[in-house]
C-alpha cells in the first residue's frame, strides 16, 4: 500500500469525505500528517502554500511527513519540501455549476455574495458585486483554478488553458470526480494498492437538501461562462478519469467493485448508525460528532447506535467524526501537549 500522499482538498467537492478516508488510513498505519502550525485546519489558505506553514517543519532538518491533506493553495516546489519524493499526488473535482451553487450558500458572507439575494441576481451583473482585488474573491469565481494555484481571473485563451491543464497533469498522478464518487474510490483503491475497507466512507460535510436549489438552464450556462477556467479543468479531467478507469480497472471489474463498495457501506451503516442515515445538526445527540455549521448551509451529521463496543465502536466513530474534530485528535496524538 502507498503511504506517502498529497491530497489537494478542493473546496465543496466531497473532499471532506476523502480527508476522513486519509485520516483513518493514516491513523491505522501510524503515519505522520503535515498539520498546519499550531493545530489549525488550513495551511494559511488562501495564500500559496509554503513549507513553513507546517508544524514541525524546519529547513535545517530533513523531516518529511507521510500525508498532506489540509486545505491549501497548491504550490508544488514548497509541497515537495515536506513530503517524500515518492508521494502520490491526487485531488477530486466537482462540476463547477453545482460547485458554485454550493459555494454561494456556504460562503454567503463573502464580499461578492453578501449583497445579493440569489445566485441568479449575482450572475445577472457579476462585476457589480465581484471585485478581483478582494481577498476572498476566489469563493465567487473559478474556485478549482484558484485552489490549484492559478489566477481565477486569468486569460481563457486556448493556449493558456492548455498550459494550465499540462501543469496540473505534470504535478498530479490522477484526479477523481465527485459526481462518480464510488467509481473514484475504486480507482483510488486500485492506484494506492489499498483494501476495500480503507476506502469505504459515509458522506461528510454534506448540506441538508432544504438549502439546495435547482438552477434554471440559463443560469447553468452563465455559470459555465463565468467559471470558464474551472469548466475547462473539469471537462478535461472528467474525460481522462474514464480513460484511467478503462486502463486500470476495466468496465466489468468496475461494476463488481462498485457493488462491493456499496454493499460494505450499507453493512457498516446497519452496524453503526441509528436510523437510516444522516440527520440535521439539531438532531445529533453526541455534541463531539456535530460538524461545524457555516454560512447559510445546514451541515448534516450522524448518530451512532448505543452500546457499540471495542473495535466496532472505534471503527464506527471514526467513520462519522467530522473533519475538525478528527484533525484535532490526530494533531494531539502526533504533537502531545507537554505534561503539566
pLDDT at 76 over 80: yes
Average pLDDT, integer, range 319-329: 97
pLDDT computed for residue 104 by the predictor:
94
Q: What is the tens place of the pLDDT at every residue in 222-281?
A: 999 999 999 999 999 999 999 999 999 999 999 999 999 999 999 999 999 998 789 999
* Least confident piece of the model among 79-88, 209-218, 227-236, 282-291: 209-218
Q: How confident is the model at residue 330 (pLDDT cuts 50, 70, 90)?
A: very high
Kindly report, residue by residue over 248-258, the tens digit of the pLDDT.
999 999 999 99
Lowest mean pLDDT: which of 23-32, 110-119, 218-227, 296-305? 296-305
Q: Which class in CATH covers the domain with range 5-334? A: alpha beta
Q: What is the largest CA-CA distance in the chain?
A: 61
* pLDDT at 215 exceeding the cut of 90: no
Instruction: Name residues whose C-beta falls within 8 Å of residue 150's C-beta, 6 or more positions apart in sequence.
Output: 164, 167, 229
Give yes or no for residue 320 having a pLDDT over 80. yes
Q: For the segment 168-189, what is each residue's pLDDT rounded down to a tens digit?
A: 999 999 999 999 999 999 999 9
Arithmetic mean of pLDDT over the chain: 95
Q: How far apart are CA 44 and CA 180, in angstroms?
A: 30
% residues pLDDT > 90 (the chain): 91
Quickly state the pLDDT bin for 22 (edges 50, 70, 90).
Answer: very high
C-alpha cell at 9: 482538498
Query: What cell was used for 7?
Result: 491530497
Read off the pLDDT of residues 37-64 as tens digits, 9 standing for 90 and up: 999 999 999 999 999 999 999 999 878 9
* Secondary structure of the chain as H, E, C letters: CCCCEEEECCCCCCHHHHHHHHHHHHHHCCCCECCEHHHCCECCCCCECCHHHECCCCCCCCCCCCEECCECECCHHHHCCCCCCCCEEEEEECCHHHHHHHHHHHCCCCCCCCCCCCHHHHHHCHHHHCCCCCCCHHHHCCHHHHHCCCCCCCCCCHHHHHHHHHHHHHHCCEEEEHHHHHHHHHHHHHHHCCCHHHHCCCCCCCECHHHCCCCCHHHHHHHHHHCHHHHHHHHHHHHHHHHHHHHHCCHHHHHHHHHHHHHHHHHHHHHHECCCCCECHHHCCCHHHCCCCCCCCCECECCECCCCCHHHHHHHHHHHCCHHHHHHHHHHHHCCCCCC
Length of the chain: 340
Residue 144 above 90 pLDDT?
yes
The whole-angstrom separation of Cα 3 and Cα 67 is 8
- Is the pLDDT assigned to residue 212 strictly greater than 80? no
pLDDT of residue 328: 97
- pLDDT tens column, 98-129: 999 999 999 999 999 999 999 999 999 999 99
Give the pLDDT band (50/70/90) at residue 207. Answer: confident
pLDDT band at 297 (very low <50, low <70, confident <90, very high): confident
At residue 295, does pLDDT exceed 80?
no
Tell me what pLDDT residue 294 has. Answer: 78
Confidence class for position 87, pLDDT limits 50, 70, 90? very high
pTM, two decimals, is 0.96
- The yes-or-no verdict on residue 211 having pLDDT over 80 is no
CA pair distance 164, 187, nearest whole angstrom: 24
Amino acid at each position: 500500500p502507498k503511504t506517502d500522499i498529497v491530497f489537494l482538498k478542493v473546496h465543496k467537492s466531497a473532499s471532506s469525505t476523502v480527508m476522513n478516508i486519509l485520516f483513518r488510513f493514516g491513523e491505522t498505519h501510524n503515519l505522520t500528517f503535515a498539520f498546519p502550525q499550531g493545530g489549525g485546519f488550513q495551511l494559511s489558505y488562501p495564500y500559496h502554500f509554503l513549507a513553513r506553514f507546517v508544524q514541525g517543519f524546519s529547513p535545517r532538518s530533513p523531516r518529511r511527513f507521510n500525508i498532506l491533506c489540509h486545505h491549501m493553495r497548491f504550490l508544488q516546489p514548497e509541497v515537495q519540501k515536506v513530503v517524500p519524493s515518492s508521494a502520490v499526488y491526487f485531488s477530486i473535482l466537482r462540476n463547477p455549476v453545482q460547485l458554485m451553487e454550493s459555494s454561494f450558500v456556504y460562503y454567503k458572507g463573502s464580499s461578492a455574495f453578501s449583497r445579493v439575494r440569489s445566485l441568479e441576481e449575482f450572475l445577472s451583473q457579476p462585476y457589480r458585486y465581484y471585485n478581483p482585488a478582494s481577498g476572498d474573491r476566489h469563493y465567487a469565481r473559478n474556485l478549482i483554478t484558484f485552489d490549484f494555484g492559478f489566477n481565477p481571473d486569468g486569460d481563457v485563451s486556448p493556449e493558456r488553458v492548455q498550459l494550465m491543464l499540462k501543469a496540473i497533469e505534470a504535478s498530479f498522478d490522477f484526479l477523481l470526480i465527485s459526481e462518480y464518487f464510488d467509481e473514484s474510490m475504486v480507482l483510488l483503491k486500485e492506484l494506492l494498492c489499498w483494501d476495500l475497507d480503507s476506502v469505504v466512507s459515509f458522506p461528510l460535510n454534506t448540506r441538508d437538501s432544504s438549502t439546495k436549489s435547482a438552477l434554471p438552464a440559463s443560469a447553468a450556462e452563465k455559470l459555465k461562462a463565468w467559471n470558464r477556467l474551472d469548466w475547462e479543468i473539469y471537462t478535461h479531467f472528467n474525460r481522462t478519469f474514464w480513460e484511467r478507469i478503462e486502463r486500470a480497472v476495466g468496465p466489468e471489474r468496475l461494476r463488481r467493485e462498485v457493488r462491493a463498495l456499496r454493499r460494505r457501506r450499507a453493512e457498516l451503516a446497519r452496524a453503526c448508525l441509528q436510523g437510516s442515515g444522516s440527520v440535521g445538526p439539531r438532531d445529533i445527540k453526541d455534541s463531539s460528532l456535530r460538524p461545524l455549521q457555516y454560512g447559510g448551509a445546514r451541515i448534516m451529521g450522524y448518530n451512532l447506535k448505543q452500546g457499540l463496543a471495542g473495535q466496532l465502536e472505534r471503527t464506527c466513530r471514526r467513520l462519522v467524526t467530522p473533519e475538525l474534530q478528527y484533525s484535532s485528535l490526530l494533531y494531539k496524538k502526533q504533537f502531545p501537549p507537554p505534561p503539566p
